[in-house]
Amino acid sequence: MVDRLIMDGETARHLLWQMRRIRSFEAASAEQYSAGSIRGFLHLYSGEEAIAAGVMHGLQESDFVISTYREHGHALARSIAPSAIMAEMFGTVEGCSKGRGGSMHLFDVQRNFYGGNAIVASHLPLAVGMALAVRKRGEHHVVCCFFGDGAAAEGEFAESLNLAALWNVPVLFVCENNLYAMGTALKYSHAATDLVTKGTAQGVESMNVDGMDLLAVIDAMRHANAVVRTAGKPMLLVCNTYRFRAHSMFDAELYRTKEEVEQWRQRDPIEAFAAWAMNCGLLTESNIDEINARVDAEIDQAVAFAKGGHLESVTTLERYTYAEGHHE
């Protein structure tokens, strides 16, 4: 188990800040959606913060990250500015995808962040191909691929894990199992509900991780780095978690009870980590106040930035379809 004494105060404060800002950013996103400034589909990450914070803590800047449509947390933890993400959701040219993508398609190649992919499981083969390129060049980067439990029911999940194992390529598959594919519970989607068995069946080393426990995620990443970065093999982490909010802004949550949500909220990963860190003497009340104030200011600034953004002229509507200079 994790050596809980190895963390220093600065790291603890950084990780708490990371999780807090994701939670606050999502609250602001919901608010802006209600205000009509954000449209389309909006999928919030609240409740799953320990996974983004913990996994990204174990990655390097040169690693590749590719994600699903519930990716605000991953993008933030990958150091994409909240202002650029909020601006993207406002559909302005200041957005990280120039406003062309929206909430589900956040991209930042400078930070090796390859979306924001919104067809469930469709990006898993891409991760395998990116890792194949890494291997062919003799590099030692990790390609980290986030997806949900719903994706594990798709054929591309099985194809991708098989290819990754067959080709021996460095993909870290991170399944965020929040127990529901939209509104269909895991037990109604999967005959084998322990998703780890699906990874091992494809020849990929796989392990369950408590996705509500930041320290467990960090510990799992130590092992994942040994397998994926050092040995160059794929690995599957099934991070068991829960989303505190609805699937999207159109979801009336008919498929789960308030009691169930409340039970999981008792395991809030941010509160749990803060309590542990205070108990260990890594955090003080005043540290937490400082972090909260810093997060509030950052998110307010992001919203203000997005509100001051600019809409692209329709005269350039056909841009980004082909490389510049190639027009019909």
Partner 1 sequence: MNDQALTISYRKALRQALRDVLHADERAFLMGEDVGRYGGAFAVSKGLLDEFGPERIMDTPLSESGFVGAGIGAAIAGMRPIVEIMTVNFSLLAMDQIVNNAATLRHMSGGQIGVPIVIRMGCGVGRQLAAQHSHSWEPLFAHIAGLTVLSVGTHEDARWVLPAAMQSEDPVVILEYTSLLNTEGTVENGVGGVDISTARIRRRGNDVSLITYGTGVMKCLAAADVLAHEGVEAEVLDLRVLRPLDQQSILSTVMHTHRAVVVEDAWRTLGVGAEVSARIMEHAFRDLAAPVVRLGGVEVPMPYPRHLEDAAVPQVDGIVDAVRRVLQ
Q: List residues near partner 1 by CB under 8 A.
A: 64, 95-101, 105, 107-109, 114-117, 119, 122-134, 136-137, 155-156, 159-160, 162-163, 166, 319-324, 326-328
Nearest to 23 by CA among 1, 44, 37: 44
Residue (32 or 117) nearer to partner 1, CB: 117
Place of tokens 């800002």: 21
Q: What minimum distance in Å lies between the beta carbon of 157 and partner 1?
A: 10
Residue 234 Cα distances to 24, 126, 161, 165, 204, angstroms: 33, 14, 8, 6, 6
Q: What minimum distance in Å lies between the beta carbon of 167 and partner 1?
A: 8
Helix axes of 9-34 and 285-307: crossing angle, nearest 10 degrees: 40
Nearest to 221 by CA among 60, 7, 59: 59
Q: What minimum distance in Å lies between the beta carbon of 2 and partner 1?
A: 32
Q: What minimum distance in Å lies between the beta carbon of 80 and partner 1?
A: 12
Q: What minimum distance in Å lies between the beta carbon of 100 and partner 1?
A: 5
Residue (33 or 64) nearer to partner 1, CB: 64
Q: How far apart are CA 249 and CA 228, in angstroms?
A: 36
Residue (14 or 319) nearer to partner 1, CB: 319
Secondary structure letter of residue 194 according to DSSP: -
Q: What minimum distance in Å lies between the beta carbon of 321 and partner 1?
A: 5
Q: What minimum distance in Å lies between the beta carbon of 164 and partner 1?
A: 9
Residue (25 or 64) nearer to partner 1, CB: 64
Place of tokens 């069946």: 201
Residue (280 or 311) nearer to partner 1, CB: 311
Q: Hey, CA dihedral for 128, 132, 134, 138, is it positive or negative?
A: positive
Residue (109 or 191) nearer to partner 1, CB: 109
Place of tokens 């169930």: 260
Residue (126 or 215) nearer to partner 1, CB: 126
Burial degree of 5 (CB within 10 A; 0-12, 13-18, 19+): exposed
Q: How far apart are CA 55 and CA 214, in angstroms?
A: 9
